[in-house]
Amino acid sequence: MTVSILIFLPVIAALVVLLFKNGTAKHAALTFSVAELAIALYFLSKFVPDATTQFRVDMPWIPKMGVYFTAGIDGISMILVLLTTILVPLIILTTYKHQYKNEGAFYALILFMQAGMLVVFTALDGFLFYVGWEAALIPIYFICSLWGGENRIRVTLKFFIYTFSGSLFMLLAIIYLYLQSPSNTYNLFDFYKLSLDAHHQAFVFWAFFLAFAIKMPVFPLHTWQPDTYTEAPSAGTMMLSGIMLKMGVYGVIRWMIPNAPLGFFDWQSMTIMLSVIGIGYASIIAFKQNDGKRLVAYSSIAHVGLIAAGIFVFTIEGLQGAMIQMLSHGINVVGMFFIWDIISRRLNTRQLSDLGGIAKVAPKFAVAFLIIVLGTVALPLTNGFVGEFLLLSSVFQWNIWMVTAAGLTMIFGAVYMLRMYKKVMHGPTNDLTITFIDISGSETIALSVICALIIIIGIYPQPILHISEASVTHLFNVVYPKFPQLK
């Protein structure tokens, strides 16, 4: 069995789900997404945690142009495959109490988007990687523009312009590497073997950096994110924040740094500085937010800023921290946006000033909300702690002042998240919140799974770290000797 089944099943599922109407579409989409998760877990059970690429498919696609359908899974890819296949059924489950116009198209777009992201996370051919990148972008554009909020057209157009512009820069880098390849292929490992000078690598670095920094996003290329997250339907926001932004992080690890180590080395300080500035900026703006969904959006920028800083320091510890933190952040941010989806659907508001006392009328909801908040602020024994500890430790090795700035702003993050919880859940109830109904049915299932993952990964993270350890170490050993100070 090869990775092709993971890629093509969601495409087939999307075409099938498109035919369904009414409530049947969501059931079919959930069934297909659970089947996809089962296949991913089967691959995990057969996966050998070494540095090799497994479950590989390698077929001619456009051989005259050097394009092959080449994909596979190593330890780095496996983490992202698990993230995608775990979160998509959870995201679909969170939509069960929503009614969408043309549900078949809505859920088909989610599944097609899943296929595109899995292509990105498994592609070993540059052309295939770009196709997957664009294939994931198109569905989320329609999800946001057709089912989003009042300002969805303006906001979605801004999002599309940002991300599509970045994609074009990435395409230029991929084509340039292809033209430099003696074998005239887009094969990733052939790209790794190229010996470009610092000047040409600087071009490759900037072309990749603009694409990936927009997607993550890194300050100051983040301005599309809060508006898009706020205006997108909840499921779209979860797909964007939980999975899609990880495409940028993955691209930095797999494509940018290994293909342009000299260019990266020259601009390393700048990338780390921008990441740390993003943490502080987003944390300060989050303090001022009264809209809960927008507050979580800025919180996400801060957390991804720390992931980016840990990667750009480029140590094994930082890379491992980024891997587990990508998984943890995806789980936590989906949980947080689902919390605000429940509040918004029941009370028709997301304003903190309108809320209070919900814990008194919804104890199960209060417990789930608290666990997700604690995971988000990286309390020890929750999933957020291990990744943040490794990332901060990595940044500390690079510069004590940078880690001080990053650490202080992460403390700010804990303050505004706990402050948010207090405003929403504690204090007296009012005429609005007294009507709040506790979670039930699909809401209970989705939040229970999210809370269980937060606790289990926090208590015992070693299996996750073990999956990626060999691949991360191998990548580091391939790239690090190319840095100038070691020549």
**Tens digit of pLDDT for each residue in 209-224?**
999 998 888 888 787 8
* pLDDT average, residue stretch 110-114: 94
How many Å apart are CA 47 and CA 448, to the nearest integer? 27
- Under the banding of pLDDT at 50, 70 and 90, the label for residue 468 is very high
* pLDDT average, residue stretch 280-294: 86
* pLDDT average, residue stretch 321-335: 93
Q: Is the pLDDT of residue 182 over 90?
A: no
Q: Is the pLDDT of residue 150 over 80?
A: no
Contact 383, 453 (CB under 8 A): yes
**Three-state SS annotation for the chain:** CCCHHHHHHHHHHHHHHCCCCCCHHHHHHHHHHHHHHHHHHHHHHHCCCCCCCEEEEEEEEEHHHCEEEEEEECHHHHHHHHHHHHHHHHHHHHCCCCCCCCHHHHHHHHHHHHHHHHHHHHECEHHHHHHHHHHHHHHHHHHHHHHCCCCHHHHHHHHHHHHHHHHHHHHHHHHHHHHHCCCCCCEHHHHHCCCCCHHHHHHHHHHHHHHHHHHCCCCCCCCHHHHHHHHCCHHHHHHHHHHHHHHHHHHHHHHHHHHCHHHHHHHHHHHHHHHHHHHHHHHHHHHCCCEHHHHHHHHHHHHHHHHHHHHHHCCHHHHHHHHHHHHHHHHHHHHHHHHHHHHHHHHCCCEHHHCCCHHHHCHHHHHHHHHHHHHHCCCCCCHHHHHHHHHHHHHHHHCHHHHHHHHHHHHHHHHHHHHHHHHHHCCCCCCCHHHCCCCCCHHHHHHHHHHHHHHHHHHCCHHHHHHHHHHHHHHHHHHHHHCHHHC
In the chain, % of residues over pLDDT 90: 50
For the stretch 61-106, pLDDT in tens is 888 888 899 999 999 999 999 999 999 999 999 998 888 888 889 9
Rg (CA), the chain: 21
Tell me which residue range forms the domain holding 64: 4-486
- State the chain's mean pLDDT as an integer: 89
Contact 184, 126 (CB under 8 A): no
Per-residue pLDDT at 69: 92
* pLDDT average, residue stretch 313-323: 92
- Under the banding of pLDDT at 50, 70 and 90, the label for residue 485 is low
Q: Please count the structural domains in the chain.
A: 1
Count other C-beta atoms under 10 Å from residue 367's C-beta. 14
Per-residue pLDDT at 487: 40
> Of 107-121, 214-228, 349-363, which gets the smallest average pLDDT?
214-228
In 3D space, the residue among 439, 329, 330, 417 whose CA is nearest the CA of residue 90 turns out to be 330
* pLDDT average, residue stretch 362-371: 94
Q: Is the pLDDT of residue 486 over 70?
A: no
How many Å apart are CA 272 and CA 392, to the nearest integer? 12
Q: Is the pLDDT of residue 410 over 80?
A: no
In 3D space, the residue among 132, 31, 26 whose CA is nearest the CA of residue 80 turns out to be 132
Half-sphere exposure of 25 (CA within 13 A, CB side): 23
How many Å apart are CA 119 and CA 70, to the nearest integer? 10
Dmax of the chain from CA atoms?
71
How many Å apart are CA 454 and CA 329, to the nearest integer? 10
> Of 153-162, 177-186, 424-433, which gets the smallest average pLDDT?
153-162
Q: Is the pLDDT of residue 190 over 80?
A: yes
How many Å apart are CA 450 and CA 334, to the nearest integer? 8
How many Å apart are CA 270 and CA 89, to the nearest integer? 38
More confident residue, 456 or 276: 456
How many Å apart are CA 97 and CA 443, to the nearest integer? 8
* pLDDT average, residue stretch 116-134: 94
> Of 153-157, 416-420, 455-459, which gets the smallest average pLDDT?
153-157
- Under the banding of pLDDT at 50, 70 and 90, the label for residue 228 is confident
